[in-house]
């Protein structure tokens, strides 16, 4: 169990402390479950009632809510409580989790010609191919795979059973969660006489610094050029990025998003769950795509876009869907009626 005093948090992370700097904290918890020795936060004033009911001993709030903290042992006032919580979670995790020890586990396989920094950690049954480069502080988890000539940047972490294919390059401070595959073959086949002939994928994948790839997500290697994810990109679980896609800096995609080949996506975009984008289109910076939206053409103006048919009770939905199927015919009848009345 970690024991931290509220004054220590402010000394490390900033903010204005209200109350007792010696107040002891043992963990971070949600408002509804926090107790006297927990720190919690309120990121949205709409949930003020939860704060008032909460037994949290220390709460992180915005300046406008400083008078709402009540008679607690301590509170922290900061302009952005959610950002403060994010930084607090990392600070706490660094003290809670045991760091990986540098060195190579006896069961790991490191091919001749691979270059491992002395401060890198290679876990049980991991594999590092010939010519691969693993930077300082990098952690290769159990059964992870780094292909020949691949590059793993400093302090990047590969979770168990994640894969970085041959020739792919991962930047610094990246995280690959379990089952992530970087550098699988892109989906390329040429039709010939009723069957498919494989097109070899000769490019690689290049990933910038501070990128996070969720569990069982896949970024395919390029057919000729490289597939690229720029700095700060965040992919949730089960996301697929096809060959030759270029994703701009700090773009984030939620679970089950699929991006087809050779699409170019700008910076600071967000994609809600199950959104899909067809191949060979361009999406500009600062675009939000709604859940289950299918993007079938390029987007040249920043903004929010959606296209999912809204859910409803089955009977109502069926009637609306039936009406939509008749829309083209109804349009023709309306035009004919208008022409008669002119």
Structure tokens at 155: 């302090």
pLDDT score at 201 = 97
Q: Could you tell me what percentage of the chain is helix, strand and coil, using 3-state DSSP and rounding each to the nearest 5?
A: 20, 30, 50
The model carries a pTM of 0.91
Question: Is residue 40 a part of any domain in this protein?
Answer: yes
The answer to whether residue 124 scores a pLDDT higher than 80 is yes
Q: Which of 282, 260, 287 is nearest to 272 (CA)?
A: 287
| Residue where a domain terminates, one of 68, 96, 124 | 96
Question: Is residue 120 a part of any domain in this protein?
Answer: no
Q: pLDDT class for 199, splitting at 50, 70, 90?
A: very high
Question: Is residue 110 a part of any domain in this protein?
Answer: no
Question: For residue 251, what are the CA distances in angstroms to 82, 161, 301?
Answer: 19, 25, 16
| Residue where a domain terminates, one of 69, 96, 123 | 96
* CATH value at residue 41: 3.40.1390.10
Question: Is residue 160 a part of any domain in this protein?
Answer: no
Annotated catalytic residue within 23, 37, 240, 243: 243
Structure tokens at 26: 């043992």
The answer to whether residue 88 scores a pLDDT higher than 90 is yes
Question: Is residue 207 a part of any domain in this protein?
Answer: yes
**Structural domain total, the chain:** 2
The answer to whether residue 324 scores a pLDDT higher than 90 is no
Give the structural domain span for 52: 4-96
Based on C-alpha coordinates, what's the Rg of the chain? Answer: 26
Same domain for 187 and 83?
Answer: no
Q: Is 243 a catalytic residue?
A: yes
Question: Is residue 230 a part of any domain in this protein?
Answer: yes
């Amino acid at each position: 169990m970690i024991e931290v005093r509220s004054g220590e948090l402010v000394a490390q992370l900033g903010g204005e402390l209200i109350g007792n700097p010696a107040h002891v904290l043992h963990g971070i918890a949600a408002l509804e479950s926090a107790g006297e020795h927990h720190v919690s936060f309120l990121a949205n004033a709409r949930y003020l009632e939860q704060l008032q009911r909460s037994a949290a001993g220390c709460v992180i709030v915005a300046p406008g809510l400083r008078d709402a903290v009540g008679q607690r042992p301590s509170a922290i006032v900061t302009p952005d409580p959610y950002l403060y919580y994010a930084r607090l979670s990392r600070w706490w995790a660094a003290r809670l989790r045991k760091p990986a020890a540098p060195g190579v586990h006896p069961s790991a396989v490191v091919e001749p010609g691979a270059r491992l920094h002395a401060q890198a950690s290679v876990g049980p049954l991991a594999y590092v191919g010939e010519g691969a480069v693993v930077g300082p502080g990098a952690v290769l988890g159990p059964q992870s795979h780094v292909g020949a000539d691949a590059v793993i940047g400093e302090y990047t972490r590969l979770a168990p059973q994640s894969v970085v294919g041959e020739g792919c390059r991962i930047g610094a401070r990246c995280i690959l969660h379990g089952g992530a595959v970087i550098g699988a073959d892109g989906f390329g086949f040429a039709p010939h006489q009723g069957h498919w002939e494989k097109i070899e994928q000769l490019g690689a994948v290049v990933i910038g610094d501070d990128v996070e790839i969720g569990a069982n997500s896949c970024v395919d290697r390029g057919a000729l050029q490289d597939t690229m994810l720029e700095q700060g990109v965040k992919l949730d679980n089960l996301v697929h990025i096809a060959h030759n896609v270029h994703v701009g800096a700090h773009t984030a995609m939620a679970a089950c998003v699929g991006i087809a080949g050779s699409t170019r996506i700008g910076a600071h975009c967000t994609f809600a769950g199950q959104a899909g984008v067809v191949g060979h289109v361009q999406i500009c910076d600062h675009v939000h795509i709604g859940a289950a939206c299918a993007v079938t053409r390029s987007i040249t103006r920043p903004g929010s876009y959606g296209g999912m048919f809204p859910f409803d009770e089955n009977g109502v939905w069926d009637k609306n869907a039936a009406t939509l199927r008749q829309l083209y015919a109804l349009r023709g009848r309306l035009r004919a009626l208008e022409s008669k009345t002119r």
